[in-house]
Amino acid sequence: MSRSTVNHPAESFERSARAYEVLVALNRAGSRRLVRSLPDEPYGRVLDVGCGTGFATMQAVARGGVNEVTGVDPAQAMLDVFTQHLSAHPGIRADLRAADAVSTGVPDGWADLVLCTMALHWMPDRPAAIREMARALRPRGVLGILAPGQGHDRPTVDIIMATGDAEVIRLADSIVANEIPVGWLAGVLGEVGLEPLDVWSETRERVVAPDAVADRMDAVATHLWADLPEPAQHDVMARVRRVFRDAAAPDGMYRYRFVKTFAVARKPG
Ligand X SMILES: C[S@@+](CC[C@H](N)C(=O)[O-])C[C@H]1O[C@@H](n2cnc3c(N)ncnc32)[C@H](O)[C@@H]1O
- Name the minimum Å distance from CB 84 to ligand X: 14
Closer Cβ to ligand X, 60 or 182, answer by number: 60
Q: 22 CB contacts (<8 Å, ≥6 apart)?
A: none
Closer Cβ to ligand X, 78 or 175, answer by number: 78
- Name the minimum Å distance from CB 269 to ligand X: 26
Closer Cβ to ligand X, 50 or 149, answer by number: 50
- Name the minimum Å distance from CB 22 to ligand X: 12
Answer for the pair 246, 124: CB distance below 8 angstroms, yes or no. no
- Name the minimum Å distance from CB 11 to ligand X: 9
CA distance 262 to 264: 7
CA 180 to chain centre: 12
Which residues on neighbouring strands pair with residue 137, listed in sequence order?
A: 111
Q: 51 CB contacts (<8 Å, ≥6 apart)?
A: 57, 71, 72, 73, 78, 79, 82, 96, 115, 119
Residues at the site binding ligand X, with contacts judged by CB under 6 A: 9-10, 13, 27, 31, 50-53, 55-56, 72-75, 78, 100-101, 117-119, 122-123, 220
Phi and psi torsions of 216, nearest 5°? -65, -40
**DSSP symbols for 71-120:** EE-S-HHHHHHHHHHHTT-TTSEEEEE---TT---PPTT-EEEEEEES-G
- Name the minimum Å distance from CB 13 to ligand X: 4
Q: 158 CB contacts (<8 Å, ≥6 apart)?
A: none
Closer Cβ to ligand X, 163 or 223, answer by number: 223
DSSP state of 123: -
Closer Cβ to ligand X, 20 or 163, answer by number: 20
- Name the minimum Å distance from CB 250 to ligand X: 32
Closer Cβ to ligand X, 30 or 247, answer by number: 30
Q: Which residue is nearest to ligand X (CB)?
A: 52
